[in-house]
A and B are shown apart, each in its own frame.
Chain A
Amino acid sequence: MKVSANTRTLGSLRPGQTCRVIGLADQAVSPELEERLLRMGFAEDAAIEVRHEGLFGRDPMAVKVDGVILALRRREADTILVEVDAPR
Chain B
Amino acid sequence: MTPGAAYRLALVGNPNCGKSALFNALTGGRQKVGNYPGVTVERRVGRLRTPSGIAIDVIDLPGSYSLTPHSADEAVTHKVILGQQDGELPPDAILCVVDATSLAFHLPLVLELKRLGKPMLVTLNMMDLAERDGIRIDTAALARELGLPVVGSVAVRKAGTRALVETLSSTLETLKTQPPADTTSIPTDVRGLRREARRIAQAATLSEGREHKVTRVLDRVFLHRVAGPAILFGLLFLMFQAVFSWAEAPMNWIDGGIVGLQALASSQIANPALRSLLVDGILAGVGSVVIFLPQILILFLFILVLEASGYMARAAFLMDRLMAGVGLNGRAFIPLLSSFACAIPGIMAARTIDSQRDRLTTIMVAPLMTCSARLPVYALIIAAFIPDRKVWGAVGLQGMVMFSLYLFGIVAALTVAAVLKRTMLRGAAQPLLLELPKYQMPNWRDVAIGLWQRAKIFMRRAGGIILISMIVLWALSSFPPPPPGATQPPIFYSAAAWVGKGLQTVFAPIGFNWEISVALIPGLAAREVAVAALGTVYALSGSEDAIKTSLAETLRNAWTLPTALSFLMWYVFAPQCLSTLAVTKRETNSWRWTFFMAGYLFALAYVFAGATYWITKAIVG
In the complex, the answer to whether B317 meets A55 with C-beta atoms within 8 Å is no
Q: Are A76 and B431 touching (Cβ within 8 A)?
A: yes
Q: Are B313 and A55 in contact (CB under 8 A)?
A: no
Q: B219 contacts which of A37, A40, A55, A62 (Cβ < 8 Å)?
A: A62
A60 to B195, Cβ gap below 8 A? no
Question: Which residues 311-330 of B have a CB within 8 angstroms of A?
Answer: 313, 316-318, 320-321, 324, 330
The size class of the interface chain A forms with chain B is: 20 to 34
Interface residue? B229 (CB, 8 A): yes
Could you mark each residue 211-233 of chain B with 1 if its beta carbon is under 8 Å from any beta carbon of chain A, else 0?
A: 10001000100011110110000
Q: Which residues of B contact A13 (CB under 8 A)?
A: none
Known: A59-B320, A70-B435, A75-B429. A35 touches B102 (CB 8 A): no
- Complexed CA–CA distance, A73 and B307 (Å): 22
Contacts of B102 in A (CB 8 A): 66-68
By a CB distance below 8 angstroms, the chain A residues around B68 are: 35, 39
- Find chain A residues with CB under 8 A from B324 CB: 59, 73
CA distance A44 to B192 in the complex (A): 11
Cβ–Cβ < 8 Å partners of B449 in chain A: none
Q: Mark B101-112, 1 if CB is under 8 A from A, else 0.
A: 111110010000
| A33 contact set on B, CB distance < 8 A | 431
A73-B219 in contact given A54-B320, A55-B229 (Cβ < 8 Å): no
The residues of B that contact A52 with a CB separation of less than 8 Å are 219, 223-224, 317
CA A59 to CA B318, docked complex, whole Å:
9
Asked if B321 and A56 sit within 8 Å, CB to CB, the answer is yes
What is the CA–CA distance of A16 and B436 in the complex, to the nearest angstrom?
A: 17
**Contact yes or no, B317 A54, CB < 8 A:** yes
Whether A55 pairs with B223 at a CB distance below 8 angstroms is no
B191 at the interface (CB under 8 A from A): yes
* Contact (Cβ within 8 A) A36 B104: no
Size category of the B interface is 35 or more
Contacts of A41 in B (CB 8 A): 104-105, 194
Contact, CB under 8 Å: B225 / A53: yes
Distance between A72 CB and nearest chain B CB, rounded to angstroms: 5
Q: Which of A7-60 contact B (CB under 8 A)?
A: 30, 33, 35-41, 43-44, 51-57, 59-60
A3 at interface, CB cutoff 8 A = no
Cβ–Cβ contact A38 & B194, under 8 A: yes
Name B320's contact: one of A51, A67, A68, A71 (CB within 8 Å): A71
| Distance in Å: Cβ of A17 to nearest Cβ of chain B | 16
Tell me, in angstroms, the Cα distance from A51 to B215 when the chains sit together.
12
Contact A60/B330 with A39-B65, A43-B191 known, Cβ cut-off 8 Å: yes
Beta-carbon contacts of B398-435 to A below 8 Å, as 1s and 0s?
Answer: 00000000000000000000000000000011011111
CA distance A38 to B195 in the complex (A): 11
Q: Which residues of the partner chain B approach A40 to less than 8 Å between Cβ atoms? A: 65, 433, 435
Contacts A55-B225, A70-B435 given; does A38 touch B320 at CB 8 Å: no
**Does B206 make an interface contact (CB < 8 A)?**
no
CB A71 to nearest CB in B, in angstroms, measures: 4
Q: Report yes or no: A60 in contact with B432, Cβ–Cβ below 8 A.
A: yes
A79 to B324 alpha-carbon distance, docked (Å)? 18
Q: Does the CB pair A67–B101 fall under 8 Å?
A: yes
Q: Mark B66-103, 1 if CB is under 8 A from A, else 0.
A: 10101000000000000000000000000000000111
Of the listed residues B65, B101, B313, B432, the one surrounded by the most CB atoms of chain A closer than 10 A to its CB is B432
Residue in contact with A39 in the complex, picked from B101, B108, B436, CB distance below 8 Å: B108
Given the interface contacts A35-B190, A54-B320, does A70 sit within 8 Å of B434 by beta carbon?
yes
Could you say which residues of chain A place their CB within 8 Å of the CB of B108? Answer: 39
A52→B225 CA distance, assembly (Å): 8
Given contacts A54-B318, A71-B317, contact A43 B194 (CB under 8 A): yes
> Which chain B residues lie closer than 8 Å to A39 at the CB level?
65-66, 68, 108, 190
Q: Given the known A-B contacts A36-B70, A38-B194, A41-B194, are A76 and B321 also in contact in the complex, defined by CB atoms under 8 Å?
A: no
Q: How far is the CB of A6 from chain B (nearest CB, A)?
A: 23
Chain B residues in 8 Å Cβ range of A36: 70, 431, 433
Residues of B within 8 A of A56 (CB): 321
CB-defined contacts of B65 to chain A, threshold 8 Å: 39-40
Residues A68 and B105 in contact, CB atoms below 8 Å apart: yes
Query: Which residue of chain A lies nearest to B209 when distances are taken between CB atoms in the complex?
Result: A67
Tell me how far the C-beta of A1 lies from the nearest C-beta in chain B, rounded to whole angstroms. 13
- Do the beta carbons of A76 and B190 come within 8 Å of each other? no
Distance of A33 Cα from B430 Cα, bound (Å): 9
Assembly CA distance A37 to B70 (angstroms): 13
Distance from B69 Cβ to chain A, minimum over Cβ atoms (Å) = 11
B127 to chain A, nearest CB (A): 15
B432 and A57: CB pair below 8 A?
A: no
Q: Report the minimal beta-carbon distance from A61 to chain B, rounded to whole angstroms.
A: 9
Could you tell me the distance in whole angstroms from the C-beta of A44 to the nearest C-beta in chain B? 7
Residue positions of B touching A, CB distance < 8 A: 65-66, 68, 70, 101-105, 108, 190-191, 194-195, 198, 211, 215, 219, 223-226, 228-229, 313, 316-318, 320-321, 324, 330, 428-429, 431-437
12 additional A-B pairs beyond A71-B330, A73-B324, beta carbons within 8 Å, are A33-B431, A36-B70, A43-B191, A44-B191, A52-B317, A54-B317, A55-B228, A66-B198, A69-B219, A71-B434, A76-B432, A76-B433
Q: Nearest 9 pairs between A and B by C-beta?
A: A67-B102, A52-B223, A38-B190, A69-B436, A71-B434, A66-B105, A68-B105, A71-B317, A55-B225
A-B contact pairs, 16 of them (CB 8 A): A35-B68, A39-B190, A43-B190, A51-B223, A52-B317, A54-B317, A54-B320, A60-B330, A69-B436, A71-B317, A71-B434, A71-B435, A71-B436, A75-B431, A76-B432, A76-B433
